[in-house]
A and B are shown apart, each in its own frame.
Chain A
Amino acid sequence: SQQGEEDPQALSIQEGENATMNCSYKTSINNLQWYRQNSGRGLVHLILIRSNEREKHSGRLRVTLDTSKKSSSLLITASRAADTASYFCATAGYSTLTFGKGTMLLVSP
């Protein structure tokens, strides 16, 4: 299985702090994606990093990928209360996505 495993399962921080979530996977991938899900809602695609990339930025998001360690991290800088959500990594094989268990992030005002 190439299911991603997020770490930590839950994270609680104050507004303005940075939040870091990690994801590990088991097999080779084409790319790794991060998604956000607000409670009871659909998924929002945040960022995609390809297997030949090591780091990618998008606004307050920074994603790293270490294929030798089969791991990725998502950093949210200067967090806001509106960032409160569950965050999932998903590894992409040729055609399908496999989701990790997710990290629940709570940002308190």
Chain B
Amino acid sequence: GAVVSQHPSRVICKSGTSVKIECRSLDFQATTMFWYRQFPKKSLMLMATSNEGSKATYEQGVEKDKFLINHASLTLSTLTVTSAHPEDSSFYICSAKPGTGRETQYFGPGTRLLVL
């Protein structure tokens, strides 16, 4: 099956710093990538959808200046949490799919962010 990786798997940072999380599709070209956020024992909430080469589409309530998404190539999307604060601590999961329609999404293993 298709493989999606995330790096790092865990990150601890100080309040006020920025953190970049990478999402890579290893064996297919990901036209569309998604970023989700998950609080402990809660569901996944879609943050944004990114298509290669264009600006990300953010869900309502997600600050685009806070969560910068770049989808510069067909195999890589990055999420940068800028000026992180403790309330940004969460589990961030990306997914990717080869097209823009109804194809199956393939999920990464997630990145645990802890902001002190």
Binding site for B on A (CB under 8 A): 30-31, 35, 40-45, 48, 86, 88, 92, 94-102, 104
Contacts and interface: CB of A to CB of B under 8 A. Distances in A.
A40 B110 CA distance: 8
Nearest to A90: B44
Interface of B: 6, 32, 34, 36, 41-46, 49, 91, 93, 95, 100-102, 104-110, 112
* 3 nearest CB pairs, A to B: A42-B109, A43-B107, A99-B44
A30 B104 contact: no
A81 B45 CA distance: 28
Contacts of B100: 95
A42 B38 CA distance: 11
| A43, A44, A102, most chain B CB atoms within 10 A | A43
Contact of A41 (B41, B42, B109): B109
A95 B41 contact: no
16 contacts: A30-B102, A31-B102, A35-B107, A40-B112, A41-B109, A42-B6, A42-B93, A45-B107, A86-B41, A95-B100, A96-B49, A100-B43, A101-B42, A101-B43, A102-B43, A104-B41
B32 A95 contact: yes
A45 B45 CA distance: 17
B27 to A, nearest CB: 16
Contacts of B91: 40
Contacts of A48: 104
Contacts of B101: 94-95
A23 B2 CA distance: 27
B46 to A, nearest CB: 6
Contacts of A45: 104, 106-107
B45 to A, nearest CB: 8
